[in-house]
Structures are given as C-alpha cells and as structure tokens.
Amino acid sequence: MARSNSHNSILCRQLIKVYGQGETQVKALRGADVEVRYGELFMLVGPSGCGKTTLISIVTTLMEWNEGTCEVLGQDIAAMSLSERIAFRCTSVGFVFQGFNLLPALTALENVSVPLLLNGLPRPEAEERAKETLNKVGLSERTEALPRQLSGGQQQRVAIARALIHNPKLIVCDEPTSNLDHKTGAAMMKLLRDRAKKPERSVLVVTHDPRIYGFADRIARMDDGKIIDVLEGKERKKLL
C-alpha cells in the first residue's frame, strides 16, 4: 500500500479500546490520537493505567481495537490479516518489551539473532551481526550467557539489541531505561536517538523516567485514555 502521508510513521485517529463487558467493562482508550513523524524520537508519558501500553500494543499490531483508524508505516493495520501482521512485525518493527520477553533457553547472542533468523538470514551471518550489536550495547563479554545469568539491566540491553538488529523502520520501547543507571540509560537512549534520525526511521518510547526526556524531539502527555497535549521546542523544555 502506498504511504498516505510521507511525513508520518504512525497516524492514528480516535482510537477506542474497551476491555471486558457489562459492569466489568473498562475503556482503556477514549478517542486517542497519535502522530509520530519520520526522523524523530517521540516520547509518550503519563500515569500508570492511562492507556500507554494499550496504545503501543495497537501500533505494533499486537492488539485489536474497537473504533478509530490507525496507519503504521503507511499501512492500514486494520486491513492486515494475521499472517500479514506477523510478517510486518518481523520486517518493520522492533519492540523493547517492559518485561524484556527474552527466550529463557537461548543465550544473549541467540536471542538477539532471532529477528534475523525469522527474516531468513543464515545463522552464521545472523550471529556475527548479533555480536556486533551486543558490542554496541556494552555486552560483548556476555554473548553466551542465558537470561537467568544476566542482571535486569543486562537483559534490558539484550532486548534493545534485539530491537535494533534488523534495522526496522519503527522501534517501540516500553520503559527502556527502567533497570539502567543514568550513564548506561543515556548511552542506550543515544543509540535509539541515532537510529531515529536515519532516513525513513522513527522511535516511540513510553517512559516514566524524566532523566531521558531530553532525548525526545516531542513529548506527548497522556491521561485517562487520551493524549492531552504534545510538547516540543520551548514547551518540551518545561518538562526537563
């Protein structure tokens, strides 16, 4: 499908997402609008339970929604079949999950190699690129370690390496610095920001960490299932 707006990697309008039915019904999104541009690192901030994780789950094609429209990388994701969504994630999306989601039986090297193997790259080449990427996140000495042998911060860096390795057009991160000290967190954010600045690329970060706000081009504040404002320039600096 041709890209309908060449400036936006994400363009979602009036998204509504409801969990449950009847008296147990919870409306997680209440007409949320989000627009992420190519070439930017876009942050989404707000209190726990405001709908941030639901929103990024929709954007990354992991979750259905009830009403509204959502285009990602120029494609109407509502029109995709299940197999098309899986292929789309494999080739075009990198996701850093809050819980890391590393495969426990695989080493750090093997975990990082997975996106390349899913895309058909031969194992020796995939593992060579995984070594290079793990080196970029400061884990060249831990390539053969299993997740249980790694600290939380090290697992987080493995997850970031896995999101970067296949050079996706969109990287989405859920709390990517929650287990990292300030210096390491800043180094990881620089990696992500550098990736966002490459042609036809963008990065969306959900965070509660004010230490990293300065890496954002724009910061969207979310509350009660909606984005209430988007700050940039001088307005963005008020949060720093």
**Residues 25-67: pLDDT tens digits?**
899 999 999 999 999 999 999 999 999 999 999 999 999 999 9
CB atoms within 10 A of CB 45: 21
Task: Tell me, rounded to whole angstroms, the distance of Cα 101 from its chain centroid.
Answer: 13
pLDDT at 4: 46
Query: What does the pLDDT look like over 132-145, one tens digit per residue?
Result: 999 999 999 999 99
Domains of the chain and any CATH numbers: 8-237 (3.40.50.300)
pTM, two decimal places: 0.92
Q: Residue 19: name the closest of 68, 65, 81 by CA.
A: 65
Calculate mean pLDDT across residues 179-207: 95
Q: Residue 38: name the closest of 203, 226, 164 by CA.
A: 203
